[in-house]
Structure formats: C-alpha cells, structure tokens
Amino acid sequence: MKKYISEAMKQNIKKLLFPTPAHLLNNQIQIDADGLEKIEKSIRTNYHTGWRSEEKYSKQMYKEDLDAHLFQRLESDRRLIIPWLESAGTLKDKSVLEIGCGTGTSSIAIAEQGANVIGVDIDEGALIVAKDRSRVYGLDIEYRNLNADKLKDTFGVGAFDIIIFFACLEHMTIEERLSSLKDAWEMLPSKGLLVIVETPNRLWYFDDHTSNLPFFHWLPDKLAFQYSKYSPKEIFRDMYREYDEKLNEHFLRRGRGMSFHEIELAISPIQDLDVISSLSTFQGIKHKLIKTRQQRTYKSIIKSLYPAMHSGFFDSDLDLIIQKR
C-alpha cells in the first residue's frame, strides 16, 4: 500500500510544481465518459493482446497500465512535455512527424495545440487505438504503420518543421536507431527541430523503464537477457527463459537504453550541435526538487567527466531539443 500512496503523492507534487500554462490549457480538448469508454474498449481489444494481454499482468499492474494508456500519459504530456516544446517555439501550424506515436496520447497533446501531426509506429494494435482516440477527440491526425528506418524514403526532405522521437529510440535495434536519426536530421530544414523524448539513458545506474534493476543497461545484451529473470516486473521476467534469436529481438525491443554516442555516430559530434534545451534545464530548480539526493549526486559525477557537454545528456532519460543550423 505504501508504494501506491507514494506514487500518488509524487503525481500530486508534480501537478503542483508543473501547472499547465493557461494559454495551453485553453486548447485542451475534454471528452465525456462515453468517449473515454470507447477508448478503453479499443485499448482492451487492440492493444492488450498477445504478450500484453490482461492475464499476463497482476491485477494492480494491469490497472496501472490501462490507466496510463487511457488518460495518465495524456495528462503527463500536457503538463510536462507540451510546455517544454512550446518554449522552443509555438506548435500552432507546425508540421510535426511523431515517431513512436503508440496509442496516440502524445499525438493528441501535440495536435490539440494546433500542430499538423503525422504519427508513425510499427505496432499495428497501438495504431488502431490511436486512430480511435483521435476520432473521439475530433482531431485530424494521420497515422502510418511504418518502421523508422523508412522515414526519408517515405516522406522525403523538408516536409516537417519538427521531428519527434517519442519514447521509441530505446525500442529500436542499433541499426534502426542510427539510420532513423540520420534520416530525420537530413529531412529537417534549417532551424528545424529534432526532439528526443523519454528515452532511457544508457549511462544511468538504474533502469526504471524495462527491468526495474540497477545497472541493467550496462550489461551486454545476452547477459541482460539471462539476468532478466531477477526483474521484479513479472510481465518482463517471466518471458525470457530460453534464448533464441526471435525471442532475443523481442527482448531488445522492450528497451535497452540509448546515450549520446548514437547521436554522435548518426548526426555529428555533440559540440557541433545546437542543443537548445533539455526538459531538466527547462524545468530548472523544480526538476531538482523531484529528484533524490542520490540522483542529483550521480548526475553531477558523470557530467564532470564531460563538462562541455549539455547537462541533458546526463539525466536519467534523454529529453532533448536540437536545432538544425
């Protein structure tokens, strides 16, 4: 019980620390109970299937995952991500490509602020939910079932003002990650923005995304596969018992983290890039208030190894806005 009270308290603290600015709040679309019920039905029917089906979860974990896809992620994106994006320039009338749109919560948060959004994802079930969600909210968002390594061939150059990798880079193979980052950068016009959101940082000491284990991102892939049996997350630890290539790919796509190294390989040395913001620098002292002393100390230690690099590369998650010159 204490765990859930603690999480609720954390969310309440974040709401107090990060209120949504009025001009953004006014654009948020509210739906009724019937609309919410339609989205829940779509999630249960199209997303919570196969390895994500309800019986794979404990009762409490399933409720948490359902609530996250139903409304919590949208609330979080509205409160935390949208004000940050707006600080780099208005979203109104911007052409936005969202890579990793998932079930469409982030797409709604971006589109309701006046952006023209195209969302892509490789998860067909998630895309069905995203389309159903957009109909409920009355927003014209285009969705495509597309692997991120086909971006440039599909859309060409100059079609988007902003390209966002939304909580997806960690789910790609290394080859896909490098290819999609390179293509996205080449697709952007001068002054265009490349945005990386909620990507677990490989340099961080604890993996709270995939395994809930310390040092998990630091392990070689095959060793991490075997060590996954010690994860406290039952839907994760119980899946990877006998190693084979197909199951290993599924394991890798659950999330193995990323760091600045891929950005340097795919785009440019970090010192040659205009990193104009990170979520932590945007939030300032408020960001520090929601972190533990241990987390703040660890960040300062690893940043001291690269003092000239933007501090956003040393957060637990990579949340970065990079502007093309």
Mean pLDDT to the nearest integer, 240-259: 94
- Nearest by Cα to 150 from 182, 117, 106, 126: 182
| Calpha distance 9→7 (Å, rounded) | 5
Which residues touch 42 (CB under 8 Å, ≥6 apart)?
A: 128, 129, 132, 133
Per-residue pLDDT tens digits for 206-238: 999 999 999 999 999 999 999 999 999 988 998
Consecutive H or E run containing 127: helix 124-137
pTM score, two decimals? Answer: 0.93
For residue 234, the model assigns a pLDDT of 86
Per-residue pLDDT tens digits for 2-27: 344 455 566 667 777 788 899 999 99
Mean pLDDT to the nearest integer, 97-124: 98
Mean pLDDT to the nearest integer, 78-85: 97
For residue 11, the model assigns a pLDDT of 64
Out of 13-27, 133-147, 245-259, 269-283, pick the least confident: 13-27
